[in-house]
Amino acid sequence: MNKITIYTNETCPYCKQIKEELTKNNIEFENVLTGDQPANWQAIVELTGMPTVPTLNFNGNYLVPGRDFGNASNLVNLIQNYKESNFTVQEITREGLSSIAECICELTDAEGLDAHKRAVTIRLEAEIDNSSTISTES
pLDDT tens sequence across 74-107: 999 999 998 877 777 667 677 777 777 778 778 8
Look at phi and psi of residue 2 and say left if phi exceeds 0, alpha if psi is from -120 to 50, else beta.
Answer: beta
Q: What stretches of the chain show up as alpha helix (H) in DSSP?
A: 13-24, 38-48, 72-80, 94-111, 114-129
Residue 125 has pLDDT above 80, yes or no: no
Q: Can you give the pTM of this predicted structure?
A: 0.62
Residue count of the chain, please give it.
Answer: 138
Over 60: is that where the pLDDT of 66 sits? yes
Task: Mean pLDDT check: name the lowest of 21-35, 53-67, 95-109, 123-137.
Answer: 123-137
